[in-house]
Amino acid sequence: MIRKISIKFLLGLLFIFIISFIVLSQTVQAFIRTNNQDLITSELTGLKNNSNVYVRQAFLINHYSSNELYFGEMAEELGSTLKHATGNSVGVYTVNGELLYASDKAVFQQQEHSDLREAVAGKTAYSILNNEPETSVMFSYPVIIDGAKVGILRYFKDYSLLYQQSNRILDVTLYITLAIFTAAFLFSFILSRHITLPLGKLAHASSQVKSGNLDVRIHLRRKDEIGRLAENYNDMIDQIGRQISMISKDRDQLRELHQQEKRFFDNITHELKTPLTSILGYAELIKVNGERDPVFFEKGMNHIIEESRRLHTLVLRLLEVSRQVKSNDLEAVDAGAVLKDVCESMAIRAQRYKKNLRIHIENDLWMMGQSDRIRQLFINLIDNAIKYSWPLSETEVKGLHADGKIRFIIDNPSDAISEEQLSNLFEPFYLAHSMNPEQGSVGLGLSIVKSIVDELEGSISVISDNNHTIVTVEFERRTAAEEAGSL
């Protein structure tokens, strides 16, 4: 049951419009249809009279014993002449309706219409053919000479323009009717709106609050009971919104803490994997060679001890982070020496992949930083280069002075990386070579590298050119005086 006065009013108006529109449309259509038929009948009557004049003249000039025979012999000449005289397609038929000549065979050889059957019966008739957007008329009548029927003439006349104009008149009528309805509808809407809008707003706003939308407010410039009700409603929603906002903030803080904890443990897991892999590699080689190579045995044991200490440092850092203790102390670090040491330890990992490292590192590549963080940076970069370079390939590692800075370059042959992939390389969990990732790789290495570079106020870039992936890292260089002062 409809309970809104405004809706009842609008539905009544809509009903009146529909009835009025149907009546008006049917009346106009009937008027136009009758007018078109009268116009067509008048034109076709004139066409018949003019054609009869020509046919009679032709029969007066030539006298045949059989007018019907003569009509058949002159069918082509008669049809051609009438076509040029009237500008319409002409068909000439026998008294039995058999086609003798057609100026346009495609038109007159199609399925018969009622006009031809009426002409065979001795009547004048026409059929209207509607093939949107074209409208045409087939007009047939018997030819009478000296009181005897000698044949049938049939015309094909195009009335598309007439019916197109009629359709335009119908369209204009429709548009005028719609315009009148729209004006009446707007007037009625404005009138009902002034009466029912305040209560409608209150009903709608309460529905929105019920659905969980607390942003809705009611603004009424009224001083009566409805105005006071709207003010009280707004105050109530404000109070509820403040309470929910406090709850949402607490929820978001808990969610952010959870995400930070997850990212932290993902990073730590990734950092623990690399030294463990290196330790495992040396341990396996020592197990195979035993003590037959004392120099390698000593080197391997030292590396295992060094990586174990680094693992210990990582665990301590984990404890520091868990206590929310962060050290920002920086010191002068010879990054070139750190890189050499990392390359020496990562060479064993490269050999396991049957790959090589080619190293060119200049001396005195000093910078401000933390030795462990710089080592972590280089380990991740070289580890990535080894994992994703081509089989049996060689990765080139450079450290040099350039433009007042120290620059580190890791260049390895690999599959091409698209521009879109390059732009996402430093995103957590993103794998550019996702079709063939290393087992256990989760795409955190370069994310960690980017965070270290940002922490040390450096810059990093990656390019893919001629099937080579080139990573370039730059830091501010310290002078010799600054190095001595820091020591």
Question: Shortest CA distance to 474 belongs to which of 395, 390, 377, 394?
Answer: 377
More confident position, 214 or 373: 373
For helices 371-388 and 294-322, the axis angle rounded to 10 degrees is: 120
Q: Which residues in the chain are classed under CATH 3.30.450.20? A: 5-169
> What pLDDT score does 5 carry?
65
Poorest-confidence range of 87-96, 108-117, 147-156? Answer: 108-117
CA-based Rg of the chain, rounded to a whole angstrom?
49
Q: How many CB atoms lie within 10 A of CB 443?
A: 19
C-alpha to C-alpha distance for 371 and 128, rounded to whole angstroms: 97
**Parallel, antiparallel, or unpaired for β 356-361 and 394-402?**
parallel
Residue 340: band (very low, low, confident or very high) from pLDDT cuts 50, 70, 90: very high
Confirm or reject CATH 3.30.70.270 for domain 329-486, answering yes or no. Answer: no
Mean pLDDT for the stretch of residues 409-427: 86
Query: Which pLDDT does position 479 carry in this prediction?
Result: 59
Integer Cα distance of 256 and 262 in angstroms: 10
pTM assigned to the model: 0.40
Per-range mean pLDDT, top range of 22-31, 91-100, 225-234: 91-100
Q: DSSP secondary-structure letter at 104?
A: S
Q: How many residues does the chain have?
A: 487
Calculate the average pLDDT of the chain. 80
pLDDT-based confidence at residue 113 (cuts at 50, 70, 90): confident
Question: What is the CATH topology of the domain spanning 5-169?
Answer: Beta-Lactamase (3.30.450)
Residues 6+ apart with CB under 8 A from 98: none
- The answer to whether residue 82 scores a pLDDT higher than 80 is yes
| Residue 455 vs residue 478, higher pLDDT | 455
pLDDT of residue 323: 45
Return the percentage of the chain with pLDDT > 70, whole number. 84
Torsions phi, psi of 126, nearest 5? -145, 155
Residue 112's pLDDT is 64
Integer angstrom CA distances of residue 218 from 196, 208, 236: 14, 12, 12
- CA 47/CA 416 separation, integer angstroms: 81
Which ranges in the chain are annotated with CATH 3.30.565.10? 329-486
Q: pLDDT per residue over 157-213, tens digit each?
A: 888 888 888 888 888 887 887 788 778 777 877 767 666 777 777 777 888 777 877
SS (H, E, C) 330-365: CEEEEHHHHHHHHHHHHHHHHHHCCCEEEEEECCCC
C-alpha 92/C-alpha 286 separation (Å) is 112
Confidence of residue 291 (pLDDT cuts 50, 70, 90): low
More confident residue, 192 or 327: 192
Listed in order, the ranges of the chain carrying CATH 1.10.287.130 are: 247-326
pLDDT at 486 over 60: no
Model pLDDT, residue 319: 58
**Residue 260: per-residue pLDDT:** 62
The SS3 call for residue 434 is: coil
Would you state the pLDDT for residue 384?
87
Helix axes 371-388, 335-352, angle to 10 degrees: 30
Class at the top of the CATH hierarchy for domain 247-326: mainly alpha
